[in-house]
Amino acid sequence: MDYKMKDSGVSYIGGIPSDWAVKRLKYVSELQTGTTPSENEGINLDDEGINWFTPGDFSENLLLDLSEKHISVEAVKKFNVKLYPNESILLVAIGATVGKIGYASNTSYSNQQVTALKPFDLESKFLLYYMQSIKQSIKDNALYTTLPIINNGYLSTIQICIPEKNEQKVIAELLDDKTSQLDAIIEKSKASIEKLQAYRKSVIYEAVTKGLDKDILMKDTGVEWIGEIPYEWEVSKIGYSAKLNGRIGWQGLTSEEYKDEGPFLITGTDFDQGKVNFSNAVHIEIKRWLEAKEIQVENGDLLITKDGTVGKVAMIEGLSEKASLNSGVLRIRTNDGINTRYLFWVLNSEMFWLWFNFENSGNSTILHLYQNVFTKFSFTKPNIQQQIKIAEYLDEKIANIDLTLSQIRKKVITTEKLKNSIIYEYVTGKKRVPEYKRGGE
């Protein structure tokens, strides 16, 4: 760094080049929040009309090329819609993804969750990258009622670093190039993750429905979610092969009774990659553990969530204290003819989900895994020796796949951090474009 820096006076900016200025957003850009026409009139999914962006259209690559929904030209005229001009910067101002940024190269509009920044004294792409660099600060300043909200009053006060206009353009062009390269790496990694996840799913399903011997004689089970299985295998219902127990209601148990010590109370949020993470689990009094013996758990027990995020599966391992379950979790304790680890993989397979979706077809209400229905779940049952072999095979095979997935996910996170770091350094002047000639140079 061979140029002078000065303090910007803004905590999220820090030092900036001495020849840069800092101004509030309202002095360099107009703000406009979108609307939804009465009864969604003119909003369509037919690609007819003008892009009408909602939070679901925003992605990590910052480009808003095509919206899922459009607003018709007739609706624009009828409701006197003031469209966003091309090269507007759109920001999600309401909802779970508050702070997300996008660049709309063409004329567009949005719903009321999105606010457009229409720069009149800044290069649009420079503003795009600058707003991306302070996204976390924007999120941290959201107002919370039922949903996080960023209002235009706050947005208008955001401080913007401002180099001279030509330097803004050069910085934006450099960041276009650098971020497009990093985005390509991220997209390629995410595609690899999708392929590996599909392969992981197929490995589990093939093992628990076809076994490990690919040349074995097969037979049709007549069960829609199972299909053909090895000739010597059976089909069993889980109610015959395991004992299912869950807390009946809360039995008066409330969150006010949670303690810092005592027996663990396991909830679905404690499930982590097929195990129970006891480090964040809450505790209950010993009398609460004693009053529900049928849901006292021990090492080797299999658990499945029946409410909330249905179908999460975990095995109890490394438990050295007493533990019980909340009302959203079922305990599965297998009979002698079933290997618990094998059943773990069955419940993690498409066999379970095909059955669950079959049972819930046409059900538009919130889905639950009802215990009396779950007892009828039919699954494949090879002999115990084969179950053990399949479980051991999947333990090793899936562990290797998961390791690779973890490494790729780390690469995505690292690349995203590098991308954000590069953007921040250039839009705040910590780094400057080497070949750009500033005044007096």
Helices first, then strands: H and E counts in the chain: 11, 27
Does residue 439 have a pLDDT over 60? no
Mean pLDDT of 54-66: 93
Cβ neighbour number for residue 71 with a 10 Å cutoff: 30
pLDDT tens column, 265-290: 999 999 999 999 999 899 999 988 99
Tokens encoding 336: 């002698």
pLDDT tens column, 134-186: 999 888 888 877 788 999 999 999 999 999 999 999 999 999 999 999 999 99
Which of 21-35, 118-132, 250-264 is predicted least confidently? 250-264
Question: When comparing pLDDT for 61 and 315, which is higher?
Answer: 315
pLDDT at 109: 97
Burial of 293 (0-12, 13-18, 19+ CB in 10 A): exposed
pLDDT at 440: 43
Q: pTM of the full predicted structure?
A: 0.85
pLDDT at 129: 97
Q: What is the largest CA-CA distance in the chain?
A: 86
Q: How confident is the model at residue 250 (pLDDT cuts 50, 70, 90)?
A: low
To the nearest 10 degrees (0 to 180), the angle between helices 384-427 and 124-133 is: 120
**What are the distances in angstroms from CA 367 to CA 305, 307, 356, 359?**
12, 7, 10, 10
Architecture of domain 5-162: Alpha-Beta Complex (3.90)
Would you call 379 helix, strand, or coil by DSSP? strand
Beta pairing class for 109-110 and 50-53? parallel
Instruction: Decide which of 3.90.220.20, 3.40.50.300, 3.40.50.1820, 3.90.1150.10 is the CATH code for 214-381.
Output: 3.90.220.20
- Tell me the residue type at 230: P
- Tell me the residue type at 24: R
Q: How confident is the model at residue 441 (pLDDT cuts 50, 70, 90)?
A: very low
Beta pairing class for 323-325 and 259-266? parallel
pLDDT tens column, 360-410: 876 667 688 999 999 999 999 999 999 999 999 999 999 999 999 999 999
